[in-house]
Amino acid sequence: MAKKKSLLLLPLLGALIAGGIYWHQLEDPVPVTLIEVETGPVELIAANSRAGTIRACRRSRLSMLQGGRVETLLVKEGDQVKQGQLLLELWHGDIDARIEQAEATLRARQIDQQRTCDSAALALREYRRTQSLAKRDLASAELLDQRETESRLGKLSCDHASAITDQARAALHLQQVMLTEAQLRAPFAGTVAEINGEPGEFVTPSPPGIPTPPAVDLIDDSCLYVRAPIDEVDAARLAIGQSARITLDAFRNRVFPGQVSRIASFVTEVEKQARTVDIDVLFTPIPEDATLLVGYSADVEVVLDQREQVTRIPTETLLEGNRVLRYDADSQTLQAQTVSQGLSNWSWTEVRQGLTPGQRILLSLDREGARDGARVRPE
């Protein structure tokens, strides 16, 4: 009887030994970081393929219309100027002399005109008096004809004197225009970015087809935008007025609101493999607490579409084939789960099917040993 009992215990003992060996050979649970599936907004965005650049809505590289020696420099780099403000003057002593001469000539012509026209007015009055006397037979027809001729000649002399005065006035205006060509004024209010020329130096205008440095580089920094290239794949979904976000290397961890104001009408082929479309994104508004400089590098994200309060997961959790590793609390293992995704960007991906809020999935895919079916220990 004892021998029979011993034989019955042998299978049970073997099973216990095999189970012990199995559990002993099991790998230790892999420590992993999990994240809970949640709900929130997800956006479809188009980002620049290369760094963009801050530009001013108005920027003029001002040059002189004529060459000459710089007589007066009235501003310095960094100055804020008003529209029409005088910035720089060339030597114009000869023009000043010609203006004085033209002014004197105009005064003389005006005096001649006044004297000639007064004589014409007197001749007209004499003619009208003679007309009255002739009606009463107190003046001869010959005298009346003489007075009429004198009146017409006086009118012609007055008109001629007026034309001579107009010529003198035009000559004065011409010299005044010549003076403006020796002066450089601000076409709009802005900031002086650069000056090329000092008092006493000689400046020359740019010959056709040969660019030369501007005398004054003027920037209107009250209106700024970012010009950035967008991959041609996203070009068809771009539209004027779309909201955008602007980030700058000079202001890390800060995002500036913007709006698409221009989309180029052609594709730029920088390289055979990189075809892009330039867009302009306005700062809306320009921040008052940050000094934005023209020329800063900038990145833009244009919001093409948006979903509110949808099931979402971090984009970095997705594996090939639209799969994630879902944590099964009962077996304490990771299970591959296929999901149907919607909108997606670098940060978040919309999940339409396959997951529900509250479930936990593997966050970091670079953890060694974290794979489908692996035993894990949530950290």
Domain at 327, CATH number = 2.40.420.20
Average confidence score pLDDT of the chain: 88
- Do 153 and 53 lie in one domain? The reply is no
- Do 345 and 270 lie in one domain? The reply is no
Q: Does 2 reside within a domain?
A: no
- Do 78 and 209 lie in one domain? The reply is yes
Average pLDDT for 307-335: 91
Q: Which of 113-122, 159-168, 181-190, 198-207 has the lowest mean pLDDT?
A: 198-207
- Do 74 and 142 lie in one domain? The reply is no
- Do 209 and 68 lie in one domain? The reply is yes
| pLDDT top residue among 211 and 9 | 211
Domain at 232, CATH number = 2.40.30.170
Which of the listed residues 281, 306, 331 is the one where a domain comes to its end?
Answer: 306
Residue 344 to residues 260, 315, 338, 348, 353, Cα–Cα distance (Å) = 21, 7, 16, 6, 14
Q: How many other CB atoms are there within 10 angstroms of residue 129's CB atom? A: 12
The whole-angstrom separation of Cα 151 and Cα 121 is 8
pLDDT of residue 27: 62
Average pLDDT for 282-306: 91
pLDDT in tens, 65-81: 888 899 999 999 999 99
Q: Say which residue the tokens 């221009």 belong to.
A: 262
- Do 79 and 198 lie in one domain? The reply is yes
| pLDDT top residue among 211 and 189 | 189
What residues contact 109, with CB distance under 8 A and at least 6 apart?
A: 161, 164, 165, 167, 168
- Do 70 and 197 lie in one domain? The reply is yes
- Do 335 and 356 lie in one domain? The reply is yes
Q: How many other CB atoms are there within 10 angstroms of residue 208's CB atom? A: 5
pLDDT of residue 24: 43
- Do 373 and 243 lie in one domain? The reply is no
**Res. 228: pLDDT tops 80:** yes
Q: Residue type at 326? A: R
Q: Does 8 reside within a domain?
A: no
Query: What 3-state DSSP class applies to 35?
Result: strand
pTM value surpassing 0.85: no
Query: How does residue 26 score in pLDDT terms, banded at 50, 70 and 90?
Result: low
Q: Does 16 reside within a domain?
A: no
Which of the listed residues 256, 291, 306 is the one where a domain comes to its end?
Answer: 306
Query: How does residue 95 score in pLDDT terms, banded at 50, 70 and 90?
Result: very high
- Do 116 and 168 lie in one domain? The reply is yes
Domain count, the chain: 4
Query: How does residue 274 score in pLDDT terms, banded at 50, 70 and 90?
Result: confident
Query: What 3-state DSSP class applies to 127?
Result: helix
Query: How does residue 279 score in pLDDT terms, banded at 50, 70 and 90?
Result: very high
Domain residue limits at 34: 27-42+308-378
**Res. 244: pLDDT tops 90:** yes
Q: Does 17 reside within a domain?
A: no
Which of the listed residues 306, 326, 354 is the one where a domain comes to its end?
Answer: 306
pLDDT of residue 6: 54
- Do 111 and 237 lie in one domain? The reply is no
pLDDT in tens, 192-204: 999 988 898 888 7
pLDDT of residue 22: 47
Q: Does 170 reside within a domain?
A: yes
- Do 147 and 162 lie in one domain? The reply is yes
pLDDT in tens, 103-125: 999 999 999 999 999 999 999 99
